[in-house]
C-alpha cells in the first residue's frame, strides 16, 4: 500500500504561479509512471501531466508551455510547476501512480486525496 499526499494548492490570481508537490510513501521508481490529474466540479478527471519511469513527459494541450512536471526519486516526490495560471485551471489536482510494483509481484494504481487550486481575481 502506497500513500500519496499532495500539497501546494491555494488561491492565486490569473497569471500567477503555484508549485504542487506529491510525496509518496513508496519508491516512485517502482511505478511505470507518475503524474497529475485535475477535476473541476461537474467535470471528469483529466490528465494534466505525466512522467514515465524513463523520464518521458506528456502534457495536456491546455497546459503545454505553462506547466512542468518533474520528480525527485531520492525524495519520492513529484512536482508540478504551474505558471501563467488561468481561471479555467481551477480544479482539485490529484497525484497518481500507475503500475506500482508491489513486494508481492503485482501492480497497483494509487491516488492522492487531492489539493485545491483556485485561480480567481
pLDDT digits (tens, 9 = 90+) for 90-114: 999 999 999 999 888 899 999 999 9
Strand ranges for the chain from DSSP E:
4-7, 10-12, 18-24, 33-39, 46-52, 57-59, 67-72, 77-82, 91-101, 107-111, 115-119
SS3 per residue for 62-74:
HHCCCEEEEEEHH
Confidence grade of residue 14 (pLDDT, cut at 50, 70, 90): very high
Mean pLDDT, range 40-45, rounded to an integer: 95
Confidence grade of residue 1 (pLDDT, cut at 50, 70, 90): confident
* Each residue's pLDDT tens digit, 50-100: 999 999 999 999 999 999 999 999 999 999 999 999 999 999 999 999 999
Amino acid at each position: 500500500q502506497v500513500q500519496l499526499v499532495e500539497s501546494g494548492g491555494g488561491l492565486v490570481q490569473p497569471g500567477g504561479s503555484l508549485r504542487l508537490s506529491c510525496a509518496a510513501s513508496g519508491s516512485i521508481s517502482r511505478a511505470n509512471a507518475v503524474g497529475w490529474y485535475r477535476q473541476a466540479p461537474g467535470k471528469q478527471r483529466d490528465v494534466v501531466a505525466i512522467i514515465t519511469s524513463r523520464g518521458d513527459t506528456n502534457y495536456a494541450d491546455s497546459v503545454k508551455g505553462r506547466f512542468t512536471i518533474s520528480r525527485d526519486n531520492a525524495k519520492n516526490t513529484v512536482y508540478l510547476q504551474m505558471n501563467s495560471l488561468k481561471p479555467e485551471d481551477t480544479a482539485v489536482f490529484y497525484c497518481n501512480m500507475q503500475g506500482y510494483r508491489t513486494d508481492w509481484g503485482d501492480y497497483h494504481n494509487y491516488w492522492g486525496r487531492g489539493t485545491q487550486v483556485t485561480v480567481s481575481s
